Amino acid sequence: MKLVRFGEPGAEKPGMIDHNGDLRDLSEQVDDISGAILSDASLDVLRTMDQMKLPLVEGNPRLGPCVGDVGKFMCIGLNFSDHAAETGAAIPEHPILFMKATSAINGPNDDVIMPRGSTQTDWEVELGVVIGTACKYVSEEDALDYVAGYCICNDVSERHFQTKLTGQWTKGKSCDTFGPTGPWLVTRDEVGDPQNLSMWLDVNGQRMQTGNTSTMIFTVAQCISHLSQMFTLHPGDVISTGTPPGVGMGMKPDPVYLKAGDVMELGIDKLGQQRQEVRADG
């Protein structure tokens, strides 16, 4: 299934993409696409419905973030071997975790707004993992059983804020609009192996990132298992699992960063595409 949230920011409704690619309204079945309906049992109920009998949504409404009421937005840093190489970083011994503020979460096609003083806003296409069932102390072998589905995340980053303002990476990762998520949540049964998904990102029509989740240092299962040893993962939590090479910071001979008016387009196999225009804030 492809589950979506559509409508104006803060007033999104739950929806589903039917077999014909049309948007159907799920408002009479569920309150929201959030942790409360992401268990296997709840998703099975949605699967049994006749999609074609659900109300058809006319027009072209805005798509919101594909998961509502996210409790934790976790990100794994330097998790692609070829991306670590382009940044000159050592291969980590364990998954590098940083948190992205949930207030950064944005619709997949909403504008990305560079904060005041930004000079190094960068792009990062990433595979997002959405937890469906609460888990703690899970093994790698069982970890994927706790996944509701997958989505695209653009881990937009302000590199000066991230690396030059004393503190942790969170400063450069959590600016408003820096977490486009969606366009839809694709349930795990439709995705299959999360370690064999091609991914790409263009800026102004020029291909910047090309990669595949097969080059992850730590697999999705390893990331889930590792994090669950330290704290509970709750339904609706999102893990953004790292980016392939081609980020602006890694460009040679000089880094290349976003500017107002730029357009990012990005996609992952089976998960759709995003498009964001870049604007300056005030």
Question: Considering the domain 73-280 in this protein, what is its CATH number?
Answer: 3.90.850.10
Q: Give yes or no for a contact between 7 and 53, defined as CB atoms under 8 angstroms apart.
A: no
CA 160 to chain centre: 22
pLDDT tens digits, 83-114: 777 777 788 899 999 999 999 999 999 999 99
What is the per-residue DSSP string for 230-271? TS-B-TT-EEE----S--GGG-SSS-----TT-EEEEEETTT
- Cα–Cα distances in angstroms (integers) from residue 248 to residues 88, 122, 203, in the given order: 14, 6, 10
* Residue whose entry in the numeric block shows the structure tokens 């029509």: 205
Q: CB neighbours of 137 closer than 8 A, spacing ≥ 6?
A: 228, 229
Cα–Cα distance, 77 to 67 (Å, whole number)? 22
Q: Give yes or no for a contact between 149 and 187, defined as CB atoms under 8 angstroms apart.
A: yes
Cα–Cα distance, 124 to 106 (Å, whole number)? 15
Q: How are strands ordered across the β-sheet holding 272-280?
A: 112-114, 272-280, 263-268, 198-203, 206-212
Q: Where in the chain is the domain with CATH 3.90.850.10?
A: 73-280
Query: Block means of pLDDT (10 residues each) for the chain, length 282 residues?
Result: 97 97 97 98 96 96 98 95 75 94 98 96 98 98 98 97 87 96 98 98 98 96 98 98 95 95 98 98 84
Grouping H, G, I as helix, E, B as strand and the rest as coil, residue 4 is strand
Instruction: Output the pLDDT for position 61.
Output: 98
Cis upstream peptide for 253 (omega within 30°): yes
CA 148 to chain centre: 14
Instruction: Output the pLDDT for position 167.
Output: 81
Q: CB neighbours of 248 closer than 8 A, spacing ≥ 6?
A: 120, 122, 123, 159, 208, 255, 256, 257, 258
Cα–Cα distance, 22 to 43 (Å, whole number)? 19
Neighbours of 134 (CB within 10 A): 14
Neighbours of 229 (CB within 10 A): 9
Instruction: Output the pLDDT for position 282.
Output: 76
